[in-house]
Structure 1
Amino acid sequence: MTTEAQHPFTRQGREFPAAPGAGEWTKLMARARAHSRLVARLRIALPVLAVAVAGLYFVSPKIQMTFGDLNASVAGVVIEKGRLRMVNPKLEGVNDEQGAYVVTADYAEQVVANPDIIYLTEIRAEMNNNQKGWSRLSAPKGVFETKTEKLELAGDIRTVQSGGMTARLSRASIDMKKQLIVSNEPVDVDFLNGTVRSDAMTIHTGEKRVIFRNNVRVHIRKRPEKKAVANQ
């Protein structure tokens, strides 16, 4: 039997710690719960942080990237609901006639599983040819395919041509390489001297040529007649 004098703790001048009181137990339990909450948050936060870091690495520290023959830049990157959201993206390429084109948007989204497709919101696009002609478009939303360099637009689409033509469309397919704008939905077009309505249209921006198809209606505005100058 070990006596109190022979107990190793008492021999070294130490005593067993006293059992915590009710107040101490409350503090200990609160600390344990806080620690458990922190661990649970880290289990969620660390994978998300890893994805975010991977995303930032993908677009490089300069926030610039390339998609095939395209140059691209973004003002910032946000990871949201499993998608990579790019703020103020800008895509630049060259068409078959060595003219430049630019596509910008308020933001773009890209799914990691299909990086060749970019979903754009509030789009502005411009195509230029080597004859100093240009075509500008705007649309609320669209999809750009980086491999084919084709842009699909939907919504309230507006286009302006360097020759003075303006058009309103609801859907359009744009081949940036071939400088083609194709719509198989009704279009309203205004020229300097009239208007054209049709159910389909193709604009060859490089050739400054427009083809209207299906149910074409043309209205020509008469030029005001010059008043004859009275003989003095």
Structure 2
Amino acid sequence: MTATTADMSALQPAPHSAWEPRRATTLAAARKRTRFVRLLRMALVGLAAVIILVMAGQILLRSLGAESQEAVTVGEDARMINPRFTGRDEAGTPYVVTADAAIRRRGTEARLTELESPQLDYNLITAYEQAEGVLARTGLFDADARTLDLNADVQFRTQSGYAFAADHARIYLSEERVVGDSPVEGEGPLGTIRADAYEILDGGDRVVFRGNVRTFIRNDAGAGGDQP
């Protein structure tokens, strides 16, 4: 009887192949790697916090700068085009003050408005026809006191038919009164007049002249012409 030898290779474990992963790292190496990842995360969180703080600081600085700029703007005078101011005198008669342009003062003088080529729609005085409603080159309107100061090349007419030219006139809109503290020249139905100061009262029906008053009365009869 012949003995047979069995192939025992099938019962032996298969050798490890080349692509099989290596064994896990040791416990100490794993802990070291965990600490590194934790430090990296903390660094990223800190960097993000720094970026947020920087951005917040920039936003705060910009907001403070905007407030400062706004304060400077508010402190400056405001310029207006074609302003219009309306009101009534003590008798209830309406008036309208207009101009080509205006500068509204700020601060303690906020009630004052500087006017360029001021005009007045009121029954007290009117502008020359050739002036197209302009009473002077510049003016100053006080809304609280209801006064209108006219300066430089002041020219206007009264209801009584007199035309006046002066360097200054203050119109009291609430009193229907005009006061001028500069030399004035006027011409009307009775002749011409010159004085150092003047005042128009009673809604333009009465005019008072003061200082070096010189008048030339027109002789309607034609005898002797104008007489001083």
Normalization by structure 1: what TM-score? 0.59
SS of equivalent residue, structure 2 residue 92: coil
Q: Could you say which residue in structure 2 is the equivalent of 1:110?
A: 105
- List aligned pairs for 1:184-223, cutoff 5 A: 184-204=181-201, 206=203, 208-223=205-220
Q: Which amino acid aligns with 1:115?
A: A
| Deviation at residue 224 of structure 1 after TM alignment | 7.2
Q: From the superposition, tell whether residues 109 and 199 of structure 1 become closer, same or farther in structure 2 (CA, over 3 Å).
A: same
Distance in 2 (alpha carbons) for counterparts of 1:120 and 1:84: 12
Alignment partners' CA distance in 2, 1:41 and 1:168: 55
Higher strand proportion = 1
Question: Unpaired segments of 5 or more residues in structure 1?
Answer: 12-35, 53-78, 129-133, 226-232
Matched, 1:99 2:93: yes
Total equivalences in the alignment: 174
Separation in structure 1 between the aligned mates of residue 146 and residue 190 of structure 2, nearest angstrom: 34
For residue 186 of structure 1, report the CA deviation from its aligned partner. Answer: 0.8
Alignment gaps of 5+ in structure 2: 1-27, 38-57, 128-134, 223-228
Runs of 4+ in 1 over 4 A off after TM superposition: 39-47
Larger Rg: 2
CA deviation digits over 1:77-129, x for unaligned, max 9? Answer: xx68712222221111111222122211222322133322222222112322x
Q: Which amino acid in structure 1 is aligned with residue 212 of structure 2?
A: N
Report matched runs for 1:81-100 at 5 Å.
82-100=76-94
Contact 1:107 1:120 in 2 (8 A): yes
Superposition map of 1:1-232 within 5 A: 44=65, 47-48=68-69, 82-105=76-99, 106-128=101-123, 134-136=124-126, 138-204=135-201, 206=203, 208-223=205-220
3-state DSSP of counterpart to 1:206 = helix
CA-CA distance at 1:136 after TM superposition: 2.3
Shift of 1:202: 0.6
Aligned-residue Cα RMSD (Å) equals: 3.7
**Cα distance per residue 1:146-171 (max 9 Å; x no partner):** 22212222222111123321101112
Q: TM-score, normalised by structure 2?
A: 0.60
Supply the AA of the counterpart residue of 2:163.
T
